[in-house]
Amino acid sequence: MIVRIQGEGQYEVDEAGKGRLEEIDGRLFSAMEAGDAGSFQAALQEAVGYVEDAGRPLPAERLTASDLILPARDTSLEEAKRLFSDEGYLKPVEA
């Protein structure tokens, strides 16, 4: 599967890692909804760290969509909330 870490590019992660990532992803989402900054940070570091360690960077010239997109490592809880709202950062895309 292809995973993007925002600001870092895309990684290819073996299908075997999918379950693990989805589990962390679930915790990340509940922490955000609960407004629990501590758990959010912990889960985010774990997810990003896992992808960096277990994944292989995708060549820059590969044109493919990601299956999963993780916020940047230094994303705050507040930023993440904005990111997931419809008026987040994702406006400039029009290519």
Partner 1 sequence: MKRMGTIFGAKMNKVLDRAENPNETLDYSYQKQLELLQNVKRGLAELVTSKRRTQLEADRLQAESQKREQQARQALAAGNEDLAREALQRKQLIDGQLTGLSSQIADLEQQQQKLTDAEQRLQAKIEAFRSQKEVIKAQYTAASAQVKISEAATGISEEFADVGMAVQRAQDKTQQMQARAGALDELVDSGALTDYTSNQDDIDRRLQQVTDKSSVDLQLEQMKQQMGLPSPQEQPQLTEGEKTPQQ
Q: Enumerate binding residues for partner 1 (CB under 8 A).
A: 4, 6-9, 25, 28-29, 59-70, 72, 79, 83-84, 86, 88-95
* Element containing residue 68 per DSSP (H, E): strand 68-70
Q: Which two tokens stand for residue 55?
A: 């994944």
Q: For the CB of residue 11, give the shortest distance to partner 1 in the complex, in Å.
A: 12
Burial grade of 57 (CB within 10 A; 0-12, 13-18, 19 or more): exposed
Q: Which two tokens stand for residue 46?
A: 């774990």
Q: For the CB of residue 95, give the shortest distance to partner 1 in the complex, in Å.
A: 5
* Closer residue to partner 1, CB minimum distance, 4 or 36: 4
Q: For the CB of residue 87, give the shortest distance to partner 1 in the complex, in Å.
A: 11
